[in-house]
Amino acid sequence: MGALALSSSQGWDISNTAPVNLLPRWRGFNLLEKFSTDRPEWSTAFQEKDFELMQEWGFDFARLPMSYLCWMTQDDWMKHDLPQISNQKGIDDIDEVISFGKQYHVHIQLNMHRIQGYCVSQDFIEPLNIWQDRKALDAAIWQWCFFAQRYKGIPNENLSFDLINEPAGISPDTYARVITEIVQAIRSEDPDRLIIADGLEYGTRPVFALKDLHIAQSTRGYSPPELSHYKTSPAVKSTTVPSWPMMIDGIRWDKDKLFRDYIQPWQKLQAMGVGIHVGEWGCFKYTPHAVCLKWMRSWLSLWKRADWGWALWNLRGHFGIIDSKREDIVYENYKGLQLDRKMLKVLQNG
- Candidates 330, 306, 305, 327; CA nearest to 318 is 327
Closest CA to 317 of 24, 11, 30: 30
Kindly report, residue by residue over 28-84, the tens digit of the pLDDT: 999 999 999 988 888 899 999 999 999 999 999 999 999 999 999 999 999 999 999
* pLDDT of 42: 87
pLDDT value at position 1?
30
| Distance separating alpha carbons of residues 298 and 277, to the nearest angstrom | 17
Is 251's pLDDT higher than 70? yes
Q: Per-residue pLDDT averaged across 226-244, rounded?
A: 84
Domain that holds residue 66: 2-349
Say what the pLDDT of residue 14 is. 30
pLDDT greater than 50 at residue 250 = yes
Asked if the model's pLDDT at residue 329 lies above 60, the reply is yes
* pLDDT exceeds 80 at position 24: yes
pTM of the model: 0.93
Structure confidence by residue, pLDDT tens digits, 293-322: 999 999 999 999 999 999 999 999 999 999
pLDDT in the model for residue 124: 85
**Does the structure show a pLDDT above 90 at 239?**
no
The CATH code of the domain that includes 284 is 3.20.20.80
Instruction: Return the closest-CA partner of residue 113 out of 103, 105, 123.
Output: 123
What's the number of domains the chain is made of?
Answer: 1
Tell which residue, 344, 263, 261, 253, has the closest CA to residue 302: 263
User: Given CA atoms 176, 177, 178, 183 in this order, what sign does their dihedral have?
Assistant: positive
Neighbouring C-beta atoms of residue 172, cutoff 10 Å = 15
Q: What is the pLDDT of residues 103-138, one digit of tens each?
A: 999 999 999 999 999 999 988 889 999 999 999 999
